[in-house]
């Protein structure tokens, strides 16, 4: 009797802690598109193939970390190109909406480093040798994002000589105006006195500070109510750069934590190379103008 009572109570507990399917829920996907087929999960989830032998447990973390980063970079590039097109179409509101989305993605990308940081030096050393010369340095999407933001380097194209699609994308972005170039041209069409040096620069070169823009920037900050849309754009750009620098810093610190001062698998100096990247800037005048404001 006691055993029967216990079985009934166990059954009631299970039923209380579960929910039945509602009759409207679709269960037959023999001729319908499912969640998995829409997202092509069969392809996506079969792309994690450790190369270590015997297979090392922590290599899965390493692969997933970098694959998810590449997916986010794909969306970042998608949004930045849309923002540039919006500036070209004089739609500043749409451009800033795209940039706002990028800022949220950047926060996710930065926080992801904390997951990879759980990989200890010993654990990584046990499969690092199997990676050969593959390295995040070879991420063409990361380079594409840098190019769109103005950090252009024609020499980088040589890294992608064996990847025609990546090389083609980067070559195109090298010859096109950056997001920042498109912004200044948009302001010029809105009636702001943008100096010719900003409108006619060689867009194939890395962006460098233009002192002739400081006066325009300070005037916008001085009278923000009159220039609110442009003022907001300035601050969005500053946020974008700051987030990018935080990502670079977390990257550098994670590498330092994991491999110390060893050279990178792709041949770079590792931490030293990443430290120098912290000196690069996208929108230099927006920070330099702050020295003049209120002086």
DSSP per residue, the chain: -HHHHHHHHHHHHHHHT--PPPTTS----SSS--HHHHTTHHHHTT------SSPPTTHHHHHHHHHHHHHHHHHHHHHHHHHHHHHHTT-HHHHHHHHHHHHHHHHHHHHHHHHHTTS-HHHHHTTGGGGTT--GGG-HHHHHHHHHHT---GGGGGGGTT-HHHHHHHHHHHHS--HHHHHHHHHHHTT----HHHHSS-TTSPP---GGGHHHHHHHHHTTTTTHHHHHHHHHHHHHHHHHHHHHHHHHHHHHHHHTTPPPTTSS-THHHHHHHTT--S-HHHHHHHHHTT-
Q: Is 65 annotated as a binding residue?
A: yes
CB atoms within 10 A of CB 254: 19
62 assigned binding-site residue: yes
167 is in an annotated binding site: no
Q: What is the largest CA-CA distance in the chain?
A: 93
271 labelled ligand-binding: no
- Residue 35, marked binder: no
Are 45 and 60 in contact by the 8 Å Cβ rule? The answer is no
Residue 127 annotated as binding? no
Check whether 67 is labelled as a binding-site residue.
Answer: no
14 appears as a binding residue in the annotation: no
- Residue 273's contacts (CB-CB under 8 Å, 6 or more residues apart) are 264
Rounded to 5 degrees, φ, ψ at 204 are -80, -10
Was 130 annotated as part of a binding site? no
Binding-site sequence positions: 62-66, 124, 128, 251, 265
Binding-site sequence positions for substrate: 62-66, 124, 128, 265
Binding-site sequence positions for heme: 251
């Amino acid at each position: 009797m006691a055993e029967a009572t216990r079985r009934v109570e166990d059954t009631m507990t299970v039923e209380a802690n579960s929910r039945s399917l509602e009759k409207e829920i679709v269960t037959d996907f023999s001729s319908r598109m499912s969640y998995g087929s829409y997202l092509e999960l069969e392809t996506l989830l079969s792309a994690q193939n450790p190369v270590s032998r015997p297979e090392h447990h922590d290599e899965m973390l390493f692969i997933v970390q970098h694959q998810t980063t590449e997916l986010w970079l794909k969306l970042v590039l998608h949004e930045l190109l849309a923002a540039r097109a919006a500036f070209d179409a004089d739609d500043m509101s749409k451009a800033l909406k795209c940039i706002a989305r990028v800022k949220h993605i950047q926060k996710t990308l930065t926080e992801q480093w904390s997951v990879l940081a759980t990989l200890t030096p010993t654990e990584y050393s046990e499969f690092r040798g199997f990676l050969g010369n593959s390295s995040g340095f070879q991420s063409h999407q990361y380079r594409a994002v840098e190019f769109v933001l103005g950090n252009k380097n024609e020499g980088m194209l040589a890294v992608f000589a064996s990847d025609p699609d990546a090389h083609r994308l980067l070559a195109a972005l090298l010859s096109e105006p950056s997001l920042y170039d498109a912004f200044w041209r948009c302001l010029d069409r809105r009636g702001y006195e943008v100096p010719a040096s900003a409108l006619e620069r060689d867009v194939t070169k890395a962006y460098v500070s233009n002192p002739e823009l400081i006066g325009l920037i300070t005037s916008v900050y001085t009278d923000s109510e009159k220039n609110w849309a442009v003022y907001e754009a300035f601050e969005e750009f500053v946020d974008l750069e700051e987030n990018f620098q935080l990502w670079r810093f977390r990257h550098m610190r994670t590498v330092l934590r994991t491999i110390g001062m060893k050279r990178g698998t792709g041949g770079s100096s590792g931490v030293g190379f990443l430290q120098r990247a912290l000196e690069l800037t996208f929108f230099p005048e927006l920070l330099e103008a702050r020295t003049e404001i209120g002086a």
